[in-house]
Structure 1
Amino acid sequence: MNMNTIYLRRAHKITVNQHTGNGRLADGYLGAAARNLEALGFALSPALFRAVRELPKEDFEVLYEQLVADLKVMVGAHVEYVPMYPGFPEQVMLQQDAILYLNAIYHYYTWDLPVYKGSAEREPLQEQVKLKVIGLGDSEDFCLMIRRLIQAKGSISAADKEDIDAVIAALEPEELEEILPPDIPFKENTAFVISSLLKHNKANLARLGRYFKTATDVLRLAVAWSDGDVSLAAPVRFRKFKRSGRRLLLGLLEQCQPLTEDMLRHKDRWIRLGEILHPSEYKQRYARCEEAWDILRNNKPFTSFNSSVELALKYKQVWNALDLLIKRPGEFARRLDHLLRGTEHTDYVVLAFGEAVEQVSTPVLLQVKNHFSSRLEERELRVFFPKGNVAKVFAVPDTLPVIEAGVCQDIVNICEQALIGRFAELPPLGSAYVDERLKNYHVPFSQRSASKVLHTLVRGSRLPMGEGDTIRFFSWWKEGKVNGVSTGRVDIDLSAVMYDHNWNYVEHISYTNLRSSKYLAHHSGDIVSAPLGASEFIDLHIPSIIEYGGRYVVASLNSFTEQPYCNLPECFTGWMMRKKPGSGEIYEPSAVVNKIDVTADTRIAIPVILDLVERTVIWTDLSLTRDPNYYNNVEGNQKGMVLTGKAMTQLKKPDLYDLFMLHVKARGQLAESPRHADTVFSVEQGLTPFHIEQIMAEYVV
């Protein structure tokens, strides 16, 4: 993979090789190139403009062709869009119901699209699009970006891993020091990075030990080396390791403390791995490993930390539980709510937590602080995101017993003081401006199941819709072969379901209902086969839906033919804002707000939820499990969609405003405006919510 491809997608920057000759691009030539980039919604920064105009014509053409190809993929302009009704939305608005029905029947019987007389003429695009700027970068900044990604204090996405792996493959062994930090805090990331180094024969075996502290760290490496799920949420089929690989894993395991207890957490996996590693062959060299496997295989008695804690909590032996948990502060923090609601001696629990708080990680402290700051708010649901590579959300009724307000505030104060003290050790910020709109953006902790998108965000974050009264969803997919296996016919249905303020169903727009008789909402037509690719669009006129009583819109993709998205050659979705939907082409790259690659191992995707009253887009990027008693369409998944909608709109997570304000309190002074600030935290400038790898590496520390 071209490194500029990664740099462009992640940071909207590219590098340009310096040229010392006297060549200079003709103004007309460069102007034409800039105009073509505008059509895709992008513009060159002044620095990049100056750099490329000094290139020889041949070098510029190579750079430009790759840049355009990459930008087209980023916004979805690399494919052809042929909806059933090319004159959408007017053609659907004006067509008779009988004709819409007959056209659908014709397509279902033949898989061919209807032939229309004449061609729909479209006015030129009348939108004034704000162009996205491509900046001039350099190799040092690129390596820092990848290093920050590796140093993230939370899980990273499949796209992140692809980028890291491509960079490791491209760099020479001596260059890897630029991207490899002395410590990789999040152990899932450790496992992936080291497995990538091993795969590309670039691992410095003498220095691997510094990255592994526990048996689970080593297990994750074995899983990653076997191309499995490093979160350990899914089973894995271990590869057959060579002798050198077996010795490496056993050597790393031998140094871990504690060993047996940690291995018991994943007992069955370790037994399966032991059948491959054959520790008995090396029992003289790795005696602790052999002893641990003997206990696991033969079910010998062993009292673990977790079993002792569970026993103490079961019989409400708070003092015993505290004595145990204070030795493991992270586990203490995760069980804090359970402890407080299970005892009358809350003062002692708070006091003990205060003694252990310095050893609790920043991500956990931020989440504990957020939890107890909203603990007494009335909520219908408690929301959970289960660990794993599929983006699912679970919601259960909130029936937690009440905890005294004073106790909750004490916990919040303890967390805040610990975080401020920790952040105060970092370099000073000077005067800093913190944009209040950052309250709408969540702190990135876990990105393992995040999709590859034009603009990456954290689930539950709320984006302003932008100008325009119509939001246009789009989807594109293709059938064919994946890893030599044919997909067969693929039918992906784009749908939008409207609900009122209380999440009561209002109406839906889908292949079963191409247009609304109540407000302005239209579907471009249902396409049921895609050998050359297929596309569907939905237009929603916001004022007319609000006037009718609608508020929330859940956008969804449903795999009617039941293939999971991970088994398709390509599938993506996204949205545009349009002021005049009839002008320009149906798909205008420059108007794309975001584009999402849908690759999950599931058959239903919910990319976003709209709050039309607040004019915000709630970033969800979720998967929904199908109800087996219904066809996989929007009607058959109403219960799950309502629950998902309620969960995401009621979600309470740590936000970036609170995080950055803690940093300012610790190491800066608050500025009233960006103009008077040395450091800017904002939505459009300075450090933004889209700088996820920098936030995870340098601010969640």
Structure 2
Amino acid sequence: MINSIYLRRKNKILIKEGNNKLPDVYLASILKNIEGIGYTFSKKLMDTIRTLSIDELEVFYDSIIAELKKIVGHNVEYKPMYPNFPKQVMDSDVCTLYINAIIHYITLDLPKCKVQERIPLLDNINLRVIDLGEEEEFKQICIDLLSSKTSISEADKEDIKWFVEEYKDDVNSIIPKDIPLKENVALLASLLLKHTNRANDILFNHIKTSTDVLRLTVALSDGDTSLATNTKFRNFKRSERRLILSLLENCNNITEDMVRYKNQWIRLGEKLHPFEYKGKYPKSFQGFNIIRNNIKIETFNSKIEKAFLNNDIIKSVDLLKTRPGEFARRLDQLLRSTEYWQYVIDNFKKVCGEIASPVLMQVISHFKHRNKGNDLRVFFPKGNVAKVYAIKNNLSLINDEACNRVVKLCENELRTRFSNLPQLGNVYIDEKLNDYIVPFSQRSASKALRTIVRGSKVDISDGNTIRFFLWWKEGLVGNVHTGRVDIDLSAIIYDKNWAYLEHASYTNLKSDKYKICHSGDIVEAPNGACEFIDIDINSIIKYGGRYIVMSLNSFTEQPYCNLPECYAGWMMRQYPNSGEVFEPATVKDKIDVTADTRICIPVILDLVERKVIWSDLALKSNPYLYNNIEGNEKGMVLMGKAITNLSKFNLYQLFKMHANARGTIIDEIDKADIIFSVDRGITPFDIEKIMSEFM
């Protein structure tokens, strides 16, 4: 498991140096085998492997090859409906493809055809280099995750759980001094309670509000600590109930905080039985009594809403100054509600130093683009499902000078804040980082070969054919069988204005004009099933295409979280009829699809700019239509427009701000003390490091 995490996050492995001299033939054999998966070893790692015995090498190889195959999706067998894809599909007439599909739907039989011998892969492959790691750097992964200033993903949380269980006897070595995010506090405290006897420091030093206590109980019940969804609370032991109520009793203003999540507290009260302890924990009992009996109290939010309703800017500002983070989130509403914007900004300046850095960055980005006339306003709701909402932008304009003052104010505060951090020396910053978004929220991010931030843009490498792939399996999840599972892979072509041009899916396996083709629609997967789509970039651009939306649709309506396994990705193919249909060395990205939803949009392609736009989005199915491309096309367009036109704070801006505050920017990369780039030094894929050290 150590190397599973280390490989996925850092492309490194841990291996103990031996006392032997391994013949080069063994090392060469391993290098050749992993080369076929798209990997090789650094010289430092090769030198360490040379010290292993043959038995040690065998154990090492068996573990590492299995992990590498799993990472790129090469641990399963791929049997597309048309095994000689893509040529077989492009050479077949539409009638034959249609009849074969109908026969498959009725009998589940696949078309009988001779599997032709394929010529070897002709593509040039840039191998990923695996380096030798160190245990301290490995532990730092957990420290960085817990130090994150923004929300982390489910995959991140699973890694933290492993670290706590593995290092439970030396748990202080993986815990940072400061844990800024309350969700991480709840997760860590719950893990320490479950696996160690060292939870008290976290519990009594970091849990300070009733919402902190609620998050802890949610974490102990394996629920959503963002509190965006309801949790089915487990039964707590008497000792746990006393601990939870004692933590709640030590908090201030508990009732107002409890009102914010009233329904969840009512359900939790059914498990805690606070009436039994009303003598020992009277404040807690009183809080539960108020929410259960709907006793009205005046809350901060009700006061704010009343002030806005009465257009009382002075009252609104005075209230918001007591909660600076909320002031930042309400700043736009304040500024468009009054002509006295100077008064609002002057008071915002007084509390700016108390606002979290990620929030200040979002304020900067918002007000930089506030009056640029964007057609849509885009929202990513809090929660563990990657949804996006886009509505028409009908907001009134705000004075340009006010917008500029807010931006400068926040920039100055961040620059001052960053200047107090250790000096960086000479700094090189790659301008390509303008294409990568700062990780403000990774809560709903999927586990992937290379996890980056939603809305970021990755260069499409050399080659003219992009091959999407999908693999899924039906079977038991827990003790319940999924039944027949049919997941459909689709690709939709739009022009520069998002007008529909063509699509490839089970309803349309090929297009001679746009040279796109689908490997065939498989409708059951007891042993796993796969689908592929090939996209010829030049032909699509030639006929006016620009955007391609990759879509996965659960035709049989099971949510992805209820499947044993489902993942998708894309390859870059220079010679699509060479090599196997699935060539692991050509895989650029692979994403595990596990959301509680029935439609997923992993990526959107901008073929004109030659960019892959990382989407990782969920879309609700249309209840009146089959769950297919035709039924969801309007939603696809809206989400496509939203994700391709995001105006968010990017990594170039972030790193440049750090460099200006605590270093010197230089143009020569080899003379830099620290490098920020796409493929050297600190990269967009070092998300946990960015979230902990630079935000």
TM-score (ref. length: structure 2): 0.99
Q: Which of these residues, 118, 121, 130, is aligned with residue 117 of structure 2?
A: 121
SS in 1 for 2:493: strand
The residue type paired with residue 171 of structure 1 is: Y
Deviation at 1:263, TM superposition (A): 1.2
Work out whether residues 493 and 559 of structure 1, in 8 Å CA contact, stay in contact via their aligned partners in 2: yes
Work out whether 1:164 is the aligned partner of 2:163: no
Work out whether residues 341 and 402 of structure 1, in 8 Å CA contact, stay in contact via their aligned partners in 2: yes
Q: How does 1:387-406 map to 2 (within 5 A)?
A: 387-406=382-401
Aligned to 2:7: 8
Change (3 A) 1:516 1:658: same
SS in 1 for 2:244: helix
Aligned to 2:265: 270
SS in 2 for 1:356: helix
Aligned to 1:325: 320
Partner Cα separation in structure 2 for residue 672 and residue 59 of structure 1:
45
Aligned to 1:649: 644
Work out whether 1:524 is the aligned partner of 2:519: yes
Deviation at 1:202, TM superposition (A): 4.5
Q: Which of these residues, 535, 539, 542, is aligned with residue 530 of structure 2?
A: 535
Which structure 1 residue ranges, 4+ long, deviate > 4 Å from structure 2?
Answer: none
Deviation at 1:190, TM superposition (A): 1.4
SS in 2 for 1:493: strand
Deviation at 1:140, TM superposition (A): 0.8
Instruction: Give the aligned CA root-mean-square deviation in angstroms.
Output: 1.1
Partner Cα separation in structure 2 for residue 407 and residue 625 of structure 1:
39
Aligned to 2:420: 425
Work out whether residues 154 and 445 of structure 1, in 8 Å CA contact, stay in contact via their aligned partners in 2: yes
Q: How does 1:525-564 map to 2 (within 5 A)?
A: 525-564=520-559
Aligned to 2:85: 88
Q: How does 1:340-489 map to 2 (within 5 A)?
A: 340-489=335-484
SS in 2 for 1:636: helix
Partner Cα separation in structure 2 for residue 342 and residue 331 of structure 1:
16
Q: How does 1:495-534 map to 2 (within 5 A)?
A: 495-534=490-529
Aligned to 2:60: 63
Work out whether 1:620 is the aligned partner of 2:599: no
Deviation at 1:206, TM superposition (A): 5.0
Partner Cα separation in structure 1 for residue 449 and residue 236 of structure 2:
38
Aligned to 2:626: 631
**Greater Cα offset, 333-342 or 95-104:** 95-104
Deviation at 1:282, TM superposition (A): 2.4
The residue type paired with residue 16 of structure 1 is: I
Aligned to 2:148: 152
Q: How does 1:45-56 map to 2 (within 5 A)?
A: 45-56=42-53
Aligned to 1:74: 71
Aligned to 2:41: 44
The residue type paired with residue 49 of structure 2 is: V
Partner Cα separation in structure 1 for residue 526 and residue 381 of structure 2:
35
Deviation at 1:93, TM superposition (A): 1.0
Deviations 1:102-134 (A, max 9, x none): 2112211111211113x2121111111111111
Work out whether residues 491 and 527 of structure 1, in 8 Å CA contact, stay in contact via their aligned partners in 2: yes
**Greater Cα offset, 469-478 or 54-63:** 54-63
Work out whether residues 185 and 202 of structure 2, in 8 Å CA contact, stay in contact via their aligned partners in 1: no
Structure 2 residue ranges without an equivalent (≥5) = none
The residue type paired with residue 154 of structure 2 is: A
Partner Cα separation in structure 2 for residue 316 and residue 58 of structure 1:
77
Deviations 1:448-475 (A, max 9, x none): 1111100000000000011101100000
Q: How does 1:200-211 map to 2 (within 5 A)?
A: 200-211=195-206
**What percent of counterpart residues are identical?**
55
**Greater Cα offset, 400-409 or 674-683:** 674-683
Partner Cα separation in structure 2 for residue 271 and residue 523 of structure 1:
51
Deviation at 1:207, TM superposition (A): 4.5
Partner Cα separation in structure 1 for residue 198 and residue 247 of structure 2:
14
Work out whether residues 383 and 444 of structure 2, in 8 Å CA contact, stay in contact via their aligned partners in 1: yes
SS in 1 for 2:532: strand
Deviation at 1:324, TM superposition (A): 0.9
Deviations 1:192-241 (A, max 9, x none): 12212222244433542112121111101111111111111111111111
Partner Cα separation in structure 1 for residue 97 and residue 259 of structure 2:
62
Work out whether residues 83 and 525 of structure 1, in 8 Å CA contact, stay in contact via their aligned partners in 2: yes
Change (3 A) 1:554 1:441: same
Deviation at 1:254, TM superposition (A): 1.7
Partner Cα separation in structure 1 for residue 161 and residue 541 of structure 2:
47
Work out whether residues 474 and 483 of structure 2, in 8 Å CA contact, stay in contact via their aligned partners in 1: yes
Partner Cα separation in structure 1 for residue 322 and residue 94 of structure 2:
70
Work out whether residues 3 and 167 of structure 1, in 8 Å CA contact, stay in contact via their aligned partners in 2: no
Work out whether residues 555 and 627 of structure 2, in 8 Å CA contact, stay in contact via their aligned partners in 1: yes
Aligned to 1:687: 682
Deviations 1:51-100 (A, max 9, x none): 11101111111111111000101000000000011111111111122221
Partner Cα separation in structure 2 for residue 208 and residue 684 of structure 1:
40
Work out whether 1:286 is the aligned partner of 2:281: yes
The residue type paired with residue 192 of structure 2 is: L
Partner Cα separation in structure 2 for residue 633 and residue 291 of structure 1:
52
TM-score (ref. length: structure 1): 0.98
Partner Cα separation in structure 2 for residue 534 and residue 6 of structure 1:
27
Q: Which of these residues, 663, 671, 683, is aligned with residue 676 of structure 1?
A: 671
Deviations 1:626-667 (A, max 9, x none): 011111111111110000101111111110011111101110
Q: Which of these residues, 206, 219, 230, is aligned with residue 224 of structure 1?
A: 219
**Greater Cα offset, 290-299 or 662-671:** 290-299
SS in 1 for 2:489: strand
Aligned to 2:108: 111
Work out whether residues 491 and 505 of structure 2, in 8 Å CA contact, stay in contact via their aligned partners in 1: yes
Deviations 1:595-648 (A, max 9, x none): 011011111110000001000000000010001111111111111000010111
The residue type paired with residue 558 of structure 1 is: N
Partner Cα separation in structure 1 for residue 210 and residue 638 of structure 2:
38
Partner Cα separation in structure 1 for residue 198 and residue 531 of structure 2:
47
Partner Cα separation in structure 1 for residue 314 and residue 93 of structure 2:
75
Aligned to 1:696: 691
Partner Cα separation in structure 1 for residue 84 and residue 263 of structure 2:
59
SS in 2 for 1:630: coil
Q: Which of these residues, 137, 141, 146, is aligned with residue 141 of structure 1?
A: 137
Deviation at 1:298, TM superposition (A): 2.9
Partner Cα separation in structure 2 for residue 153 and residue 207 of structure 1:
17
Partner Cα separation in structure 1 for residue 390 and residue 158 of structure 2:
31
Work out whether residues 183 and 211 of structure 1, in 8 Å CA contact, stay in contact via their aligned partners in 2: no
Deviation at 1:508, TM superposition (A): 0.4
Aligned to 2:300: 305
Partner Cα separation in structure 2 for residue 378 and residue 82 of structure 1:
49
Aligned to 1:247: 242
Work out whether residues 559 and 604 of structure 1, in 8 Å CA contact, stay in contact via their aligned partners in 2: yes
Work out whether residues 39 and 130 of structure 2, in 8 Å CA contact, stay in contact via their aligned partners in 1: yes
Deviations 1:319-352 (A, max 9, x none): 0111111111111000000000001110000100
